[in-house]
Structure 1
Amino acid sequence: MNTYREALIESTKVPVTQSNVLVDSINTAYLSAGSGYPVVILHGGGAGAVTWYPSIGPLAKKFHVIAPDIVGYGESDKPDAAYDKNYFVAWLKKFLLKLEISKVHILGLSQGGAIALQFTLDYPKMVDKFVLVDSGGLGSTSPCYPLSEWFG
């Protein structure tokens, strides 16, 4: 009988590998699919890599997709730690180095977006492109102009 996670992996319609890697002493679970330039997709708070299942198949057609369960979420360890941006960014850097990835595209959703943004600011030479989706970490004011200024 398939678990819910296995059923979601099957729904991607591409071969997906479930793996684990030790990042320092943290067992980090991740999914990978496809080949080509590496793309790391970081989920938001709460759900884990499960958030990205609908996107893994389409992305894997052109990229090597890596979807980790960020430390503290999903199938990854949940150590007693300061879960702040510095902690997550340090974990992400060590995760990428453990996978021997020196440069990557990053997509981040919500909290994953805040991690992607801070990682890009701290380690710009490791990031080729990044995409933020409903990202945290942007502050409370919008950089956008009111629609009235665009359309009169």
Structure 2
Amino acid sequence: MGPITPIVMPKWGLEMREGTVQDWLVREGERIEVGTALLDVDTDKISNSVEAPDAGLLRRIVAQSGETLPVKALLGVLAEQDVSDAEIEAYVAAYEVPVIDSGDEDAGPAFDYADVDGIRVRYARRGPESGTPVLFIHGFGGDLNNWLFNLDAVAEKHPVIALDLPAHGQSQVKLAGTTLQELAAFVGRFMETIGVPSAHLVGHSMGGGVAAQLAVDAPQKARSLALIDSAGLGDEVNADYTDGFVRAESRRELKPVAELLFNDTALVSRQMLDDLLKYKRLDGVAEALTALGTTLFGDGRQREQPGKALGGFDGPVLVVWGREDRVIPSAHAAAAPAGAVVAVLDDAGHMPQMEKANEVNALLRRHLGQ
């Protein structure tokens, strides 16, 4: 009998426990290539497609549309024709979902904390212990969960670190300054505090501006730079988003603002809105976001544009944009430094690392392999 390869519920992000099967995109009897999108899965954060980790013949679809299953549950089976139906039936019947506990390969706490300049910072580490880490920096009003589809994909080959910036996520609600220069200096001190002399910097939106500023001010700390729908490469920014996010106080007010982040507005779930409102209602968050937003993005203008000063940075640069971005125009990708790899992705808005996670992860892996 030939090998039987399971297709299992992936673990996207640090807190995912289960997912709901939506639609299968392939049929039993189809030959599958590595990277083929097999089915769509909904989580409490967002939906995404599950890619084939192996090539083979899809012999059995096990999980049906509408089923909610734990991480690592069996979704389907790949096997060649020399494997009998009876052998597949026996495999499916005997399959047990591995328990995710302290004995799992994800052992250890999901999050760490560091004290930087008197501010308590939450961060996460994944992947191998040796090698230059990849540091993920989220955007305005975001947190490290903005990378939930990307961290594990990159951590297969590289050490990965993602932090919550000051006054974001579960870091202390205390600003480290309101300019990209001050935020970049803070991230540099965060790296020193956790013992990381240099990293591959990956920044989204405001976090891209922070990463670019750090590469300009302290190039020895930046081995390479990946900017995703980044601030700092042009003048315009949509004040309906930056101001609207700060002002919104209810689900009804926040929904149209959050929908500006995506090309597919159906991705804005009730859970996403509830999580954002919970964060915004923390003591001091409204004041911190107001101060930060006013300094960085007041009147729909970006005050600082470090991305335009990257001509002297000699590390590899990747610039990724969602073509339908309604927060920072995709036309800003044209300001990428000479020699940068630029990818503008169709059918994606301001969050391509979520909407087009598989394409973004492939671009990141190629970039990091340089």
User: TM-score, normalised to structure 1's length?
Assistant: 0.82
Question: Which amino acid in structure 1 is aligned with residue 170 of structure 2?
Answer: E
C-alpha RMSD of the superposition: 2.3
**TM-aligned CA distance change 1:23 to 1:86, over 3 Å:** same
Q: 1:144 Cα shift?
A: 2.9
The residue number in structure 2 matching 1:60 is 155
The residue number in structure 2 matching 1:34 is 127
Which range moved further: 81-90 or 33-42? 81-90
**TM-aligned CA distance change 1:144 to 1:24, over 3 Å:** closer
Cα distance in 1, alignment partners of residues 175 and 140 from structure 2: 17
Q: 1:10 Cα shift?
A: 4.1
Please state if 1:144 is matched with 2:334. yes
The residue number in structure 2 matching 1:132 is 227
Question: Which amino acid in structure 2 is aligned with residue 67 of structure 1?
Answer: A
The residue number in structure 1 matching 2:189 is 94
Cα distance in 2, alignment partners of residues 99 and 81 from structure 1: 17
Q: 1:80 Cα shift?
A: 5.0
Cα distance in 2, alignment partners of residues 58 and 21 from structure 1: 25
The residue number in structure 2 matching 1:150 is none
Matched-pair contact (CA < 8 Å) for 2:135–2:162: yes
Cα distance in 2, alignment partners of residues 144 and 40 from structure 1: 24
Q: Which runs of 4+ in 1 moved over 2 A?
A: 10-17, 140-145
Q: 2:202 aligns with which of 107, 111, 130?
A: 107
The residue number in structure 2 matching 1:148 is none
Gaps of 5+ in 2: 1-11, 18-70, 72-104, 236-330, 336-370
Q: 1:46 Cα shift?
A: 1.1
Secondary structure of 1:94's counterpart equals helix
Of structures 1 and 2, the larger Rg is shown by 2
Higher relative contact order (CA 8 A, sep 6+): 1
The residue number in structure 1 matching 2:357 is none
The residue number in structure 1 matching 2:269 is none
CA displacement 1:82-138 (0-9 Å, x = unmatched): 321122012101100001111110000000000000000000111111100000011
Secondary structure of 1:130's counterpart equals strand
Question: Which amino acid in structure 2 is aligned with residue 94 of structure 1?
Answer: R
Q: 2:111 aligns with which of 9, 15, 18?
A: 18
Cα distance in 2, alignment partners of residues 80 and 127 from structure 1: 23
Cα distance in 1, alignment partners of residues 180 and 171 from structure 2: 17
Question: Which amino acid in structure 1 is aligned with residue 114 of structure 2?
Answer: V
User: TM-score, normalised to structure 2's length?
Assistant: 0.35
**TM-aligned CA distance change 1:142 to 1:46, over 3 Å:** closer
Matched-pair contact (CA < 8 Å) for 2:14–2:110: no
Cα distance in 1, alignment partners of residues 180 and 121 from structure 2: 17
**TM-aligned CA distance change 1:9 to 1:24, over 3 Å:** same
Cα distance in 2, alignment partners of residues 143 and 133 from structure 1: 9
Cα distance in 2, alignment partners of residues 76 and 83 from structure 1: 16
Cα distance in 2, alignment partners of residues 20 and 55 from structure 1: 21
**TM-aligned CA distance change 1:76 to 1:96, over 3 Å:** same
Matched-pair contact (CA < 8 Å) for 2:233–2:333: no
Matched-pair contact (CA < 8 Å) for 2:203–2:227: yes
Q: 1:9 Cα shift?
A: 1.3
Matched-pair contact (CA < 8 Å) for 2:122–2:171: yes
Cα distance in 2, alignment partners of residues 81 and 57 from structure 1: 29
**TM-aligned CA distance change 1:37 to 1:11, over 3 Å:** farther
Aligned residues: 139
Please state if 1:73 is matched with 2:168. yes
